[in-house]
Amino acid sequence: MANHSDAFASLRISNFRSFLSTKVLTSLAILMQQTVIGWQVYELTGDKLSLGLIGLSEAVPFIVTTFYSGYASDKFNRKYLLLIFTFLLACGMGLLSWVSYDAAPLLKQYGALPLYVILALNGISRAFLAPLNLAIQARIVPKFLYANAATWSSNTFYLGAIVGPIAAGLLLEVFAPWVVYSIISGVLILSFLVSFLVPSQSVDKAHLEGESFISAVGKGIKFVFKTEAIVSAISLDLFAVLFGGVAALLPAFCKDILFVGPAELGVLKTALFAGSAVMGIAMAYYPPTINAGRNLLASVALFGVSIIGFALSGNFYLSYFFLFMAGVFDNVSVIIRATIMQVFTPDDMRGRVGAVNSIFIKSSNEIGDFESGAVARLIGLVPAVIFGGIMTLIVVGVTNKLAPSLKKLKL
């Protein structure tokens, strides 16, 4: 049974604190990059679809690579993989800095294309880091603390996600993008160094001996789709965020609807994460797992309502409020989904199952960004976001109908 009396139980494990430290630094860097790249690309092109292509350029290589990354996570030492791909991600940020400065004529000649190419390379590194994070965390904390660890893991991500966009926005007010990318690369180098404190995690290869890559990955996919709690939870998240996500359109909203600059963009980007952080702290004391299924459905529905409210707001502060509330409800679903993944997945399959989960998340986030940009170009910014919020509500209704056991799920 989970320990509800100690909200800081998992944080008392030193190895877990080391793992969270590298995770928060990497999250900080990635969210800083997303803020800078969005502003830079929209400044270059003025095209809403170009904002959607940012997500697509990372999502395609991420999805193509993720099945192997999950397989590798179940076969090789997870700490070494964490070190390798954190360092490669830092190198990718260095390339963004170089292209934005020394190779600036490339941007004049080819527009945002060189940036998309580098983002694709970064997508490969992130494809390895995503299942690694799930697998490493599950080995560090005991099973009865999975929900508590998932809460604090989520909270540390949101810490980076709040500080990152604000820092990036303020830096963009003073410095050119190449300077900010250089700073981001430095943050990732620090994350790389902290990763040495994460305990070594060799894995039992016996279950993979004599088994082909395709067969091993196939087992992971089959496990996900035969476990109703997992497939229904991640499918709900996939389609809700695919339609309801608005992050990619925030640069356009700031410029064309709210008439504010990069500093305000950085602040607005923190709204979702600030709401999630506040809810995350509350859930450390009051876990949402007792009536997990019901809470999951309700939180996703309220997320959709908040997105519609954001679309209808033309005021910066009101927009921040609705995004804040969207973050509150989004984190409930994040914590429940993460706990479901930890509870139902055996250790020897965590990498592969984590890879499938990562594909669902990446599809919903980055491909959702592309969907948002494409729909916004077709019907306009505000109608596109309203459409996304309505589709999110429809997804909740369909999930409730097709997976009635989800509503009864308790963890």
Q: Tokens for 124?
A: 């490969």
* pLDDT for res 384: 92
- Does residue 409 sit within a domain? no
Chain segment 10-19, per-residue pLDDT in tens: 888 888 888 8
- Does residue 104 sit within a domain? yes
- Does residue 136 sit within a domain? yes
Average per-residue pLDDT for the chain: 85
Nearest to 34 by CA among 250, 192, 275: 250
Range of the structural domain that residue 142 is part of? 14-200+212-404
- Does residue 148 sit within a domain? yes
- Does residue 238 sit within a domain? yes
Nearest to 302 by CA among 270, 268, 328: 328
Per DSSP, which regions of 255-361 are E strands? none
- Does residue 206 sit within a domain? no
Q: Tokens for 54?
A: 């940012």
- Does residue 5 sit within a domain? no
Cα distance between residue 298 and residue 42, in whole Å: 35
* pLDDT for res 409: 78
For 394, other C-beta atoms within 10 Å of its C-beta total 14
* pLDDT for res 140: 85
User: Please, are residues 148 and 289 in contact by the beta-carbon 8 Å criterion?
Assistant: no
* pLDDT for res 301: 94
User: Please, are residues 140 and 15 in contact by the beta-carbon 8 Å criterion?
Assistant: yes
The CATH number of whichever domain residue 331 belongs to comes to 1.20.1250.20
0.75 exceeded by the pTM? no
Cα distance between residue 325 and residue 372, in whole Å: 20
- Does residue 1 sit within a domain? no
| Interacting residues of 143 by C-beta distance below 8 A, sequence separation 6+ | 342, 343
Does the pLDDT value for residue 76 go beyond 90? no
Split at pLDDT 50, 70, 90, the class of 3 is very low
Q: Tokens for 144?
A: 């009865």
Q: How many domains, in total, are found in the chain? A: 1
Residue type, 107: L
Split at pLDDT 50, 70, 90, the class of 2 is very low
Nearest to 289 by CA among 393, 148, 108: 148
- Averaged pLDDT for residues 211-220: 73
Nearest to 119 by CA among 254, 248, 249: 248
Chain segment 123-157, per-residue pLDDT in tens: 899 888 877 887 788 788 887 887 788 778 877 87
Chain segment 158-196, per-residue pLDDT in tens: 788 888 888 998 999 899 999 999 999 999 999 999 999
